[in-house]
Structures are given as C-alpha cells and as structure tokens.
Amino acid sequence: MEQRSLVVNKVRQISSLVSILALASFSTLVSAEITSIAGDFTEERQKAWIELAKSITYEANSETQSMYSYVSGLQRACEGATGKVMDMHAPNSIAMQILGFCTAVKDMEAERKFNADGKKKSFLSGAPAYCSDLDQGIRHFESMPNTADYALIYPAAQELAVAAKKIKTKEFTFTPDYKGVASFVGMDMRPKPVVVKCN
C-alpha cells in the first residue's frame, strides 16, 4: 500500500512538472510575439499596415449621418484587407486589429440591410453584432505594448482603436424602405424610423 502511494505521488509530481514546463513554454511563445515583431513583418510591410489602418481610420472619422454612405466608405477602405494583411506577414495580434474592424464593417452593412427592410437583425443579442467585432479589435490594440519594437505602427494602431470606440458611440437613424400602402382604413402604416447603435 505504501509502495503504491509512493508511485501515485511520483506520478503526480511528474504530471505537475510537465504542466509547469508546458505553461512556461507557452508563456515564452506568447511573450516572444508580444515583445518583438521582427522577422517577416519588415519595416516596409509595417508601413503598408499603417497605410491600410489610416485609410480605414479616415473613413471611420467621417461625419456623414447616412449609415449607407458611412458603411460604403468603410467597405472601400476594407476591400481586400484579409489578403493584404496576410501578405504583410503581420503577427496575429496586429493583424486581428484590422481584421476585427473590417469584420465589424461587414456586420454593419448586414445590420443596415436588415433594418432597411423593416427587420431587426440583432433582436436576440440586444446589440448589433458589429459592436463585439469592434471590441475584439480594441482588445488586440490594448494588448499591444508601447515599446521600441512597436514604435512604427503604434500611433496608427492607437488611432484605429480610437476610431473603433467612436463608432460604438454613433447612432444611425433612418426610415426603413416603404413598400406597402400608405394607409389602410385611415391608419398610417408607414414604418417608424430605426435607430442603430451599440449602447
């Protein structure tokens, strides 16, 4: 019985050691990505990332009140973003800031179309899907250290995160497309204006 107990304890010690080594190894890999972006993500590719981020930020800062015009501008800026980011060989934490933003743009257009048809796409969640997409991009920026390794892209990344937060405060109001009869037995059947927002 004592021998069995010793064996069990030994197995537990080995298992614990393996877990510690695995966590240490994982932490090292994560730290390597967080503290350094050297390698395939060259200075030239970082500048391409900055250019793409700035073009998206520019459209995000538009003051147009039309959701259609606003989303159309963002769609143009995000066109081909996935392929571009892959070609840049950007680390995941950096690539996902742009990809999360552009996913939000796709969901904004879906939200606009559903509401334009008099429907409500996000009625189950209580908030449009694009809001959580923007949160994802913001979190990726917030995990980015402001160190020398990130000095070149950090300002553009920060501007993109600020733009994402700005979108979350915007309200878009519009009247759904009206395809029915203006009145029925003296009752106004026109759809009410729709407000699309995150909060």
Q: What is the DSSP letter of 54?
A: H
Tell whether the model's pLDDT for residue 8 goes beyond 70: no
pLDDT in tens, 143-186: 998 999 899 999 999 999 999 999 999 998 876 665 554 545 55
Q: What residues contact 83, with CB distance under 8 A and at least 6 apart?
A: none
> How many angstroms separate the CA atoms of 143 and 145, rounded?
6
Tell whether the model's pLDDT for residue 36 goes beyond 60: no
pLDDT in tens, 48-58: 999 999 999 99
**pLDDT band at residue 10 under the 50/70/90 scheme:** very low
pLDDT of residue 195: 82
**pLDDT band at residue 24 under the 50/70/90 scheme:** very low
* DSSP notation for 86-133: HHHT--HHHHHHHHHHHHHHHHHHHHHHHHHTT--TTTTTSS-HHHHH
pLDDT of residue 179: 56
Q: 3-state DSSP call for residue 66?
A: coil
Nearest Cα neighbor of 139 from 174, 110, 165 is 165
> How many angstroms separate the CA atoms of 99 and 31, rounded?
22
* Domain assignments of the chain as residue spans, ordered by start: 40-197
Q: What is the DSSP letter of 196?
A: E
pLDDT of residue 115: 72
pTM: 0.71
pLDDT of residue 191: 65
**pLDDT band at residue 71 under the 50/70/90 scheme:** very high
Phi, psi of 40 (to 5 degrees): -70, -20
